[in-house]
Amino acid sequence: MQTLSENACFGGVQGVYKHASKATGADMTFGLFLPAEAKDGPVPVLWYLSGLTCTHENAMVKAGAQGWAAEQGIALVFPDTSPRGEGVADDAAYDLGQGAGFYVNATQAPWAPHFRMWDYVAEDLPGLLFNEFALDQERQAITGHSMGGHGALTLAMGLPGRFRSVSAFAPICNPTGADWGRKQLGAYLGDDESTWARHDASLMMRAVGLDIPLLCDTGTKDQFLDNLRPETLAHAVMARRAQAVLRLQPGYDHSYFFVSTFMEDHVSFHAEALYA
C-alpha cells in the first residue's frame, strides 16, 4: 500500500492511498478518514460508494461528511467506482467502463478481467483496511449516491450480517427496469437477466428483505428521477414491511448540494446503529 497524501481534518486524518488489488487486477485508489479516536483503538466505519463518473475524490471533497463523522467518532471509506489504467477496458460513453463499475463482478468480455467491483468492495478492500488501520470490523455501515446508492443497497442485502445500517442518496433502485442499468448489466453480465436480479435493490428487497434499518433520500427535482425509479423500492419495502425511512426531498436535484444537505442526517442515522 502506498500513501498518496494525508491531511489533518477535523482532529483526525484524511488520507488517500493506492494498492494493488487482487480482485480487479489493477492499482486502486481509495480515501479514508480516520477520526481522532482511531489513535486510541478501532473505530466504527461507514462506507461511502460514489456514483457514475466519480472517483474516490468526489465525495471526499464535496459531501461534507468528515465533520459529522468526526463528531460521532466514525471512520469514512471512499472507494473508487471502477478499475482504471492501461489495459483496463473502457467505453466512450460516460455510463459504461471506467468510472461506471456498477459494483458487479463482470462475466463478459472485455470487462471480465478487471471489472470485479463487488469482490473489491466486499472482500479485497476490507481485507486491506482491517489489517492496516484501526477500524472495528464488527461495526460497519454503508451508504452511497446514485450508482453508489444502488451498490450500497445491494451489498447490504447481499451480505447479510455485514452491516448494521444502510442508507442511500438518490439510488438507482430498479436498474433492471431503467436505462441506467439494463445497458450496464447486459454489458457486464450478459443477456441472461436472471443473473441481474441480485444487483437490483427493488428485486432484492422483494426476494430477501432487509433486517437492518434503511434511510433513503431522493430529490423531487432530480433530473434523473425516471432512471432512479424510487417508487419501485417503496413498493418493495411495503411488501416486505422492512424497517425503512424513504423520503422525497422537495426541490432538490441529483447534485452534491443535495448530498451535503442531508449528510448530517445520514451520519447520525448510522451512528445510532453503530453505537447501539
Coil vs helix vs strand at 64: coil
Distance CA 221, CA 130 (A): 39
Whether 254 sits among the annotated catalytic residues: the reply is yes
Annotated catalytic residue: which of 50, 217, 222, 270? 222
Q: Are strands 214-219 and 244-249 parallel, antiparallel or unpaired?
A: parallel
Distance CA 83, CA 21 (A): 9
Residue closest to 276 by CA, chosen among 268, 66, 181? 268
Cell triple for residue 228? 432512479
Whether 268 sits among the annotated catalytic residues: the reply is no
Are the C-beta atoms of residues 79 and 59 closer than 8 Å to each other?
A: no
Are the C-beta atoms of residues 171 and 152 closer than 8 Å to each other?
A: yes
Annotated catalytic residue: which of 146, 165, 167, 202? 146
Whether 146 sits among the annotated catalytic residues: the reply is yes
Segment holding 265, helix H or strand E: helix 256-274
Are the C-beta atoms of residues 121 and 151 closer than 8 Å to each other?
A: yes
Query: What is the signed CA dihedral for 6, 7, 8, 10, rounded to 10 degrees?
Result: -110
Distance CA 150, CA 127 (A): 22
Are the C-beta atoms of residues 242 and 216 closer than 8 Å to each other?
A: no
Burial of 249 (0-12, 13-18, 19+ CB in 10 A): middle
Annotated catalytic residue: which of 199, 254, 266, 270? 254
Active site residues: 146, 222, 254
